[in-house]
């Protein structure tokens, strides 16, 4: 049995750990509330932009454009597949990163992807480190995303993603990230981004549940382009892809803060349980020690009589 001093030391150590996890839980909860307040407006903007692109697709605007002047809609033989994965830079977020890795590996298995025909684009250190160790090419690695990301902060990353596709570093692009549902639940999503086709746009809408949104925003199915359709699409389509990625990043960051809050709450509860168990163990050991001391004193008095 551990000595009273050892038990007392473990109780003290566990109480200090509990203070840390409790503080981290409060910080993560505050960050979660902050990002939820800050991103409402952008979600509405992203929805409107996706509605415009969806109507462009419905109006068959993309059907007659010259793909050589609009690389984002050009279908190429898929020699390499790009996977844009969003993870956290740090741990202490429960199964947040493990779920993304699992979802990404399932996609790889489904499409027979290997280190030879796959290019990883990683936002967050966990994903980059995981696939680097397994021999995958990491063409983009971005760490240090702030707790409440801004578009200007990641603008360069988003442009790089599109530039790599246009330079044929990969021939199709999938986005894998955690979608925030509530404080206790997240859903791992896989959305194909490029090449941009009717099927890809419709799949993105279905994945994100856009059909249930307010349908008061309507757009005509007929379009007149000035100066010309290709020039307009070369502006609108990159904004659309950037919007999808940035919105997913905000969603993933929200899920990350929720996961961190939940993990720290569980750690705090576990510390409370351990402190209670150790306290009971300490009291029993102390009682046993007192009983032994009383027995020794009584034995000594009997010996003196």
Burial of 260 by CB count in 10 Å (0-12 exposed, 13-18 middle, 19+ buried)? buried
Return the SS3 of 40. helix
Question: Which residues make beta-bridge pairs with 187?
Answer: 179
Return the SS3 of 97. helix
Q: Which of 301, 291, 273, 265 is nearest to 21 (CA)?
A: 265
pLDDT tens digits for the chain (305 residues)?
568 888 888 889 999 999 999 999 999 999 999 998 888 788 788 878 877 777 777 766 666 666 666 777 778 888 999 999 999 988 888 889 999 999 999 999 999 999 999 999 999 999 999 999 999 999 999 998 888 888 888 888 888 988 898 888 998 999 999 999 888 888 899 988 888 777 777 766 665 554 444 444 444 455 565 666 777 777 778 888 888 889 899 999 999 999 999 999 999 999 999 999 988 888 888 887 788 777 777 777 777 66
Q: How far apart are CA 259 and CA 96, in angstroms?
A: 6
Please provide residue 100's backbone torsions phi and psi, each rounded to the nearest 5 degrees. -70, -45
Question: Which residues make beta-bridge pairs with 138?
Answer: 120
Chain CA centroid to CA 90, Å: 11
168: left (phi over 0), alpha (psi -120 to 50) or beta: left
The angle formed by the CA atoms of residues 211, 204 and 183, to the nearest 5 degrees, is: 75
Return the SS3 of 79. coil
Angle between helices 125-132 and 96-110 (to 10 degrees): 50
Return the SS3 of 120. strand
DSSP annotation of 172 reads E
Chain CA centroid to CA 162, Å: 21
DSSP annotation of 141 reads E
DSSP annotation of 185 reads E
With b for 16 or more beta-carbon neighbours within 10 A and e for fewer, the 217-231 pattern comes to: eeeeeeeeeeeebee
Q: Which of 112, 114, 161 is nearest to 134 (CA)?
A: 114
Return the SS3 of 81. strand
Give the end-to-end CA distance of the chain in Å, rounded to a whole number: 34
Q: How far apart are CA 64 and CA 49, in angstroms?
A: 21
- Give me the sign of the Cα torsion angle 121, 127, 131, 133: positive
The domains located in the chain, with CATH, are 4-25+264-304 (1.10.287.80), 28-262 (3.40.1380.10)
Q: Which of 58, 6, 100, 70 is nearest to 205 (CA)?
A: 58
Residue 178, Cβ neighbours under 10 Å: how many? 28
Are 84 and 175 within 8 A, CB to CB?
Answer: yes
């Amino acid at each position: 049995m551990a000595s009273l001093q050892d038990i007392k030391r473990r109780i003290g150590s566990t109480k200090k750990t509990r203070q840390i996890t409790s503080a981290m839980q409060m910080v993560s909860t505050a960050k979660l509330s902050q990002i939820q307040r800050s991103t409402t407006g952008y979600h509405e903007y992203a929805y409107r932009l996706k509605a415009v692109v969806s109507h462009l697709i419905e109006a068959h605007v993309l059907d007659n454009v010259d793909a050589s002047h609009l690389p984002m809609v050009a279908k190429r033989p898929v020699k390499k597949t790009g996977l844009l994965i969003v993870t956290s830079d740090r741990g202490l977020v429960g199964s947040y990163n493990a779920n993304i890795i699992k979802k990404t590996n399932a996609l790889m298995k489904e499409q027979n992807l290997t280190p030879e025909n796959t290019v990883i684009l990683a936002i967050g250190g966990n994903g980059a480190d995981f696939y680097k160790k397994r021999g995958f090419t990491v063409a983009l690695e971005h760490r240090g995303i702030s707790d409440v990301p801004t578009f200007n902060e990641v603008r360069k990353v988003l442009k790089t993603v599109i530039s790599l596709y246009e330079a044929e570093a990969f021939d199709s692009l999938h986005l894998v990230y955690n979608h925030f549902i509530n404080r206790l639940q997240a859903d791992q999503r896989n959305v194909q981004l490029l090449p941009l086709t009717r099927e890809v746009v419709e799949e993105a809408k279905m994945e994100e549940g856009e059909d249930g949104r307010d349908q008061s925003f309507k757009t005509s199915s007929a379009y007149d382009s000035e100066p010309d359709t290709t020039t307009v699409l070369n502006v609108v389509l990159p904004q659309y892809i950037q919007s999808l990625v940035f919105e997913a990043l905000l969603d993933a960051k929200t899920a990350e803060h929720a996961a961190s809050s939940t993990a720290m709450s569980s750690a705090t509860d576990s510390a409370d349980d351990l402190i209670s168990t150790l306290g009971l163990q300490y009291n029993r050991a102390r009682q046993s020690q007192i009983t032994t001391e009383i027995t020794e004193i009584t034995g000594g008095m009997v010996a003196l009589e």
